[in-house]
Amino acid sequence: MIIAKQKELAEILQMLEGKQRIFLTGCSQCATTCKFGGEEEVARMAAALKDAGKEITGTVILDPSCISLKVKKDLRRAPGLQEAEAILVLACGDGCQTVAGNTRLPVYPANDTLFIGEVERVGRFKEVCRACGSCELGWTGGICPVTRCAKGLLNGPCGGSRDGKCEVDPELDCAWILIYEALKERGELDKLRQVRLPRDHRKARRLAIN
Ligand code: SF4
Ligand code: SF4
């Protein structure tokens, strides 16, 4: 799940300065589940913008906001879009760019995109993946050392852990203790004997995958 949070209204209004007629888009997937761009949030944003003197020409919940062909089709028939001067997107950065790529109108993000995370419960998320391009979970007991170890270590702990917590952030469990315990429980501690080479950061730098 992509996790994002809504920007402050003051920042949104600053972006929309000089634009009076606004069209809003939300997203049916992550933004709806995590409540940063579903029906409710779009309706709330529409009301807030109206209170601030803007005219809302229409709204649509894109299904989802990150599939270009679908967005193109849905925007083409969205009532109220033609009358708008700008689009405010309540989705993640990906959804926002997909909308921007399929319209000539100026497009603005209503949200700050934070990370790929797990939903522990409504409103509580845990960062679990940095989309590094070379997944290590197969030998780490399903716990990501790149994301959940503050130093991204691949060959065991740094030695700074105290009472099972990370020395960088004592609020967080030391990822390497979690990895050790998970592998021990599975009888797979031998996986830690292999020396792991430094990560190839080129794998994380890509603009498109065919
Ligand atoms: S190793 Fe890379 S791809 Fe796998 S979970 Fe961690 S950050 Fe994500
Ligand atoms: S204490 Fe554990 S999680 Fe924190 S940086 Fe060291 S090895 Fe990584």
The DSSP code sequence of 168-203 is S-TTSBPHHHHHHHHHHHHT-GGGGGSPPPPP-GGG
Which of 1, 134, 136 for mutating ligand 1's site (highest number of atoms within 8 Å of CB)?
A: 136
* Model confidence pLDDT, tens digit, residues 29-76: 999 999 999 999 999 999 999 999 999 999 999 999 999 999 999 999
- In the predicted model, what is the mean pLDDT of residues 9-34? 98
Instruction: For domain 2-114, give its CATH number from 3.40.640.10, 1.20.950.20, 1.10.1040.10, 3.40.50.11860.
Output: 3.40.50.11860
* Model confidence pLDDT, tens digit, residues 115-153: 999 999 888 999 999 999 999 999 999 999 999 999 999
pLDDT above 70: residue 107? yes
Say yes or no: CB of residue 144 within 6 Å of ligand 2: no
- In the predicted model, what is the mean pLDDT of residues 165-175? 96
What dihedral do alpha carbons 177, 178, 184, 185 form, nearest 10°?
150
Delimiting residues of CATH 3.40.50.11860 domain(s) in the chain: 2-114
Percent of the chain exceeding pLDDT 70 equals 97
Do the beta carbons of residue 88 and residue 62 sit within 8 Å?
no
> Quick one: pLDDT at residue 202?
83
- Cα 165 to averaged position of ligand 2 atoms, centre (Å): 8
> Quick one: pLDDT at residue 43?
98
Q: Which amino acid is at 188?
A: E
The verdict on pTM exceeding 0.85 is yes
> Quick one: pLDDT at residue 122?
82
- Cα 2 to averaged position of ligand 1 atoms, centre (Å): 14
The protein residue with its alpha carbon nearest to ligand 1, atom 3, reads 135
- In the predicted model, what is the mean pLDDT of residues 184-204? 92
pLDDT level of residue 207 (50, 70, 90 thresholds): low
Do the beta carbons of residue 125 and residue 117 sit within 8 Å?
yes
Shortest-distance ligand to the CA of residue 175? 2
The protein residue with its alpha carbon nearest to ligand 1, atom 1, reads 135
Structure tokens at 133: 């391009």
- Cα 136 to averaged position of ligand 2 atoms, centre (Å): 16
- In the predicted model, what is the mean pLDDT of residues 161-176? 96
Which of 137, 140, 178, 205 for mutating ligand 1's site (highest number of atoms within 8 Å of CB)?
A: 137
* Model confidence pLDDT, tens digit, residues 87-98: 999 999 999 999
> Quick one: pLDDT at residue 106?
98
- Cα 184 to averaged position of ligand 1 atoms, centre (Å): 21
The protein residue with its alpha carbon nearest to ligand 2, atom 8, reads 149
Average pLDDT, the chain: 95
